[in-house]
Amino acid sequence: MSDLPVKLKSDFLSAEVAPLGAELVRLVDREGHDLLWNGDPAFWSGRAPLLFPIVGRLPGDQLVHKGVAYPMAQHGFARRRVFTLEASSPSSARFVLLPDEETRKQYPFEFALAVTYTLIDATLTIEAVVSNPGAEPLPASFGFHPAFRWPLPYEGARADHRLVFEKAEVEPVHRPEGGLLSAGTEPNPAVDALMTPTDEMFARDALIFLNARSRHVRFGVPRQPGLEVAFPGMPQLGLWSKPGAPFLCIEPWSGYASPPDGSAEFTDKPGLSLIAPGTSRSFGMSVRWLPDSGDEIGPAPGR
């Protein structure tokens, strides 16, 4: 089986997806501008990892099921497993991950994870379907973790970039604390659905929108090409970077890190999906390139 990325192409975008982690590793506009982070390990070696079967961390990095502890690293194991390429065409690719000896040492459940990338015109859609072929409910979370260039490869500095939410986000946000979900909160940095990302904003790790009202967010510089990240059906949103790093992660999640005082039993973890035997659940997001954004990204400073 080849470990080379699968290439997708439309008149507006091209994409590459690697079998390792079924990870999007390149997204390029029609002019050849790279929109996705390049994975430079000087800052962060990831590009757009898939988070399964957990998002965030578990207490002690252990999954406890029926009194037995299994080692489980932050964000789960899917991003470190090689997926099987089941089908591909110039506009789509479907990857599948099934349990094996190594996954069962961490996650004592039967599952099937199928991830399909579809590129049509200016939109790349990613759908992950988690199926339960077992005889007991399948506890799982799923998250997307794409990192986009910050600044994007157009006019405007990092400080000129804006995040525009579909709706006003008013609930306080959480932070990771030791990888777990903070018990405390802080004021939401989005004002009237508009947020200006800064290095200082990420000095204490990610921002976690536990009950996001928006189903999409736009990123870029006013009157320049930008991106729209849409996440129907994904109730949580994470935003993350490192101070000075030239990327911004816009992360739709269904699930989140354990709270510090949560139950040790994994199936009691808040935010989990419990997928009934013989059924499946779909998780999805899309990235749409906005080549002529106009004022879609939001007002410029001082306007």
Contacts of residue 89, defined as CB under 8 A and 6 or more positions apart, other chains included, come to: none
Structure tokens at 169: 């986000």
Structure tokens at 183: 């018990």
Structure tokens at 175: 């932070």
pLDDT value of residue 86: 97
Return the CATH fold of 6-290: Beta-galactosidase; Chain A, domain 5 (2.70.98)
Q: Are 79 and 103 in contact (CB under 8 A)?
A: no
Question: What whole-number distance in Å separates Cα of residue 23 and Cα of residue 35?
Answer: 15
pLDDT value of residue 293: 64
10-residue stretch averages of pLDDT, the chain, 303 residues long: 89 98 98 97 97 96 95 97 97 98 96 98 98 97 98 96 96 94 94 95 96 97 96 97 97 95 87 97 98 66 41
Question: CA dihedral in degrees (123, 43, 223, 190; nearest 10)?
Answer: 90
Helix (H, G, I), strand (E, B) or coil at 64: strand
pLDDT value of residue 260: 86
Domain ranges of the chain: 6-290
What are φ and ψ of residue 267, in 5° steps?
A: -65, -15
